[in-house]
Structure 1
Amino acid sequence: MGPAWSSFAAVGNRLFTQEQRGDSEVVVCYDADSGVEIWRHADVARFSEVVSGAGPRATPTFHDRRLYTLGGQGLLSCLDASSGELQWNRDLMEEFEAPLPMWGFSASPLVIDDLVIVYVGASNGRGLVAFDRKTGESEWQIASSGMNYSSAQLVTLVERPLILCASTAKLVAVDPATGTVAWEYEHSGQRSMAIVQPQQISAKSVIVPFGDGGGVARIDLQMVDDVWQLTERWRSNNLKPSFNDFVYYNGHLYGFDQHIFTCIDAETGQRQWKRGRYGFGQVILFAEQGLLLITAEKGELVLLEANPKQHTELTRLESLSGKTWNHPTVARKRLFVRNGAEAICYDLLVGAE
């Protein structure tokens, strides 16, 4: 595979991802059963920097037979998912005068109804922008606040649909239909580049990461006389993710305190344990089984119990070779992992009942 930090989007027996091949950013469709390439779409573009290397960062988004992608240089594209044929594209740097982020454009597009929404990060009110998903025309936009590497996400808080969008020192909630700002939470984190995804943990609560190594906070929300009220329950340095997303399970958060895995209490922010040196890896949750799957930075796969009382490794497997920052993907009882050089598919076997 070509270098990239894009992960796989799995749809049926198709896998969609992005790669760098020479001087082109390439969107690729693979057969999930065989790993054979089905189609590719290439654009002349190359993002590279010394720490993270070359290649697109964002994972494609599939919706209604179309694929929405964002390249490392800010090319937003809509492709036919069956053939890779281009439907439309927008160059965010050229058309919106968006600055090139230090680590490249990294967020996956968010599709809601007839809109595709991305963080552009330009001036003059062109921060978070919604495009018509069929034509690419701009529909609404709100002002930006610095760099952003996390993806906008749709949540329901206090029975209201909202888009959560993190930016420098701020989390913004937006009405998806109109683009109006419902509320803002300014945390003034010292390290404030938005990279990690916020996590909704209840109908009224969100865990907000402060940026690269800056800790997290819990905010609780309510509506009083149709006015949003936000309360910061706690803030903690016991979980300090860099660019590695954390998960929530049964009242606890599991994730990377920099390069060491940790568990903290979501009610108090207090640490339960800190153990397991997996580098800057990634983690996903198997909620029904109460298990955590970690892809370590060096490519190993590690299975843990989601247990707040102790760190317990159940198994460890040598898998990919080299730096692995990509999120793993689970679909159709299979696990798909990749990095900037190779990809592997595993069957997930269910034990006898």
Structure 2
Amino acid sequence: MKIALTLLITALAFSISAQVTQWRGPNRDGHFTETGLLKEWPEDGPELLMQIEKIGKGYSSVIPEGDMIYTTGMIDTLDYLTAINPDGSFKYQVSYGLSWKNSYPDTRCTPVIDGDRIYVQSGMGRVACINKETGEEIWAVEVDKNYEADYHVWGNSETPLIVDNMVICTPGGDKTSVVALDKMTGEQIWQSESVGGARGYASATVYELNGKSYILAVTAKEILALIPETGEVVWHYRHFDSSKWTWQENGMIWTNTPLVKGDEVFISMGYNYDAAMLKIGADGKSVSKKYTNTVLDNHHGGLVLADGYVYGSNWENNSKGNWACMDWETGDIKYETEWDSKGSVVMADGLLYCYNERGNVGIVKPTTEGFEVISQFKITEGAGPHWAHPFIANGKLYMRHGDVLMVYNIKA
């Protein structure tokens, strides 16, 4: 099944390109379009259809497209793109750049598929366009080097964004904040002004307001909105407060793609740093803080908005966090409860799919009454942190732990 994203395109608006798959689903908001899925699992979990090893170390999601699977991983010191055949064999495994050299170097960029091309970004900021069929490199640009990116502690974990004919990347630093490359050639289309802040870890997205589309991106200090045609920054907001974040001068550890609903944007980054709801002005060219929330400080597992409530986990320390539900409109917390540890969350067919950092995978009822786990099982294969976000397509649940991929049948 091919998943496509369609947004209204007007003479004044661009859109996310019609892609089969991308980071956290069609809209980068954790929602997947699959229906007809199991409402509960057997005691030992759903049927394991396939287990594939040696995909390289990493925390990136895997991307199914048709009967193929694509994923990234670190082998030695290089980031690799692997294409996996229906029988689990490798069609190709090709390098696209250097992994991050320092702390936590494992691959974090999820492949983005657009037609017959795949776009990836290495841990050192080399953006590559690869032929989906052959694995041949079509073009590559050293974005972080060319645009003088200012690295935060863990380098580059961004997944590129395709908007119309452009590849969007966020190097941060003093030279620029966001750049747009021609997706067919890699040539620069525009570079934005710098609003300040080192390279963040979050991937950009697109939102629509008053019939116009805007790119939404973050640096380690700022969140900013840009006009896709020109790269003009229409508003930016400095969430970084040096009096509250005293241990790093170049900004926060900001990993989560913001959530957007209408003219409101919710941002969250863990470490007991206040999450915030921002309100975009009526003209679309300004932004202000609506409220802050001290409970739902999500680390790097992402959040899901469903029926007016935000679901996800918070941060108590690097190995512990609780699960919570927040009212989008008011910021009121409906519940906060333990489930072994913090983790990632996505949604499909009316249920939350949660994957905590102790390896437990569960389907959870999205209710304000409490964290109701319907069924769960444990990932025991693979090594390293359980940080890869789940992916759902073709009636299957795709889970990745380190250099091992597991595919489960969740079709009813």
Instruction: Please say whether Structure 1 and Structure 2 have the same fold, judged by a TM-score greater than 0.5.
Output: yes
Q: Deviations 1:56-76 (Å, cap 9, x if unpaired)? A: 211111112111100111111
**Which residue does the alignment assign to 1:217?**
276
Question: In the superposition, relative to structure 1, how do residues 37 and 264 fare at CA in structure 2: closer, same or farther (>3 Å)?
Answer: same
Deviation at 1:230, TM superposition (A): 2.9
Deviation at 1:241, TM superposition (A): 1.0
Structure 1 residue aligned with 2:93, among 40, 46, 49? Answer: 40
Q: Deviations 1:19-47 (Å, cap 9, x if unpaired)? A: 1112322111112x333211111246232
Structure 2 residue aligned with 1:177, among 229, 254, 273? Answer: 229
**Which residue does the alignment assign to 1:317?**
377
Matched, 1:207 2:271: no
Matched, 1:18 2:64: no
Tell me if structure 1 keeps the 8 A contact 2:302–2:344.
Answer: yes
Tell me if structure 2 keeps the 8 A contact 1:304–1:314.
Answer: yes
**Which residue does the alignment assign to 1:300?**
360
Deviation at 1:16, TM superposition (A): 1.6
SS in structure 2 of the partner of residue 116 of structure 1: strand
Tell me if structure 2 keeps the 8 A contact 1:9–1:17.
Answer: yes
**Which residue does the alignment assign to 2:253?**
193
Which has the larger displacement, 271-280 or 75-84?
Answer: 271-280
Letter in 2 for 1:13: D
**Which residue does the alignment assign to 1:29?**
83
Matched, 1:77 2:128: yes
Deviation at 1:316, TM superposition (A): 1.2
**Which residue does the alignment assign to 1:107?**
158
Deviation at 1:206, TM superposition (A): 1.4
CA distance in 1, matches of 2:263, 2:150: 35
Which has the larger displacement, 16-25 or 131-140?
Answer: 16-25
Structure 1 residue aligned with 2:185, among 115, 131, 135? Answer: 135
Which has the larger displacement, 258-267 or 138-147?
Answer: 138-147
SS in structure 1 of the partner of residue 285 of structure 2: strand
**Which residue does the alignment assign to 2:15?**
none
SS in structure 1 of the partner of residue 153 of structure 2: coil
More strand by share: 1
Tell me if structure 1 keeps the 8 A contact 2:73–2:403.
Answer: no
Same amino acid, percent of matched pairs:
23
CA distance in 2, matches of 1:164, 1:227: 12
Higher normalized contact order (CA 8 Å, seq sep 6+, divided by chain length): 2
Deviation at 1:298, TM superposition (A): 2.3
Deviation at 1:210, TM superposition (A): 4.8
Q: CA RMSD in A?
A: 1.9
CA distance in 2, matches of 1:144, 1:198: 18
SS in structure 1 of the partner of residue 146 of structure 2: helix
Tell me if structure 2 keeps the 8 A contact 1:57–1:104.
Answer: no
CA distance in 1, matches of 2:265, 2:354: 23
Letter in 1 for 2:73: E
Matched, 1:273 2:273: no
Alignment of 1:130-169 (within 5 A): 130-142=180-192, 143-147=194-198, 148-169=200-221
- Stretches of structure 2 that go unaligned for 5 or more consecutive residues are 1-53, 246-251, 316-320
The alignment of Structure 1 onto Structure 2 pairs a total of residues equal to: 341
Tell me if structure 2 keeps the 8 A contact 1:169–1:210.
Answer: no
CA distance in 2, matches of 1:274, 1:93: 39
Q: Deviations 1:80-124 (Å, cap 9, x if unpaired)? A: 011110001111343333244321211110111111010112432
SS in structure 2 of the partner of residue 263 of structure 1: strand
CA distance in 2, matches of 1:176, 1:44: 27
Deviation at 1:17, TM superposition (A): 1.4
Which has the larger displacement, 154-163 or 227-236?
Answer: 227-236
Question: In the superposition, relative to structure 1, how do residues 310 and 93 fare at CA in structure 2: closer, same or farther (>3 Å)?
Answer: closer
Letter in 2 for 1:140: W
Letter in 2 for 1:271: I
- Stretches of structure 1 that go unaligned for 5 or more consecutive residues are none
Q: Deviations 1:250-298 (Å, cap 9, x if unpaired)? A: 1111111112111111111111111133434211112x42x11111112
Question: In the superposition, relative to structure 1, how do residues 132 and 43 fare at CA in structure 2: closer, same or farther (>3 Å)?
Answer: closer
Tell me if structure 1 keeps the 8 A contact 2:97–2:122.
Answer: no
Matched, 1:233 2:286: no
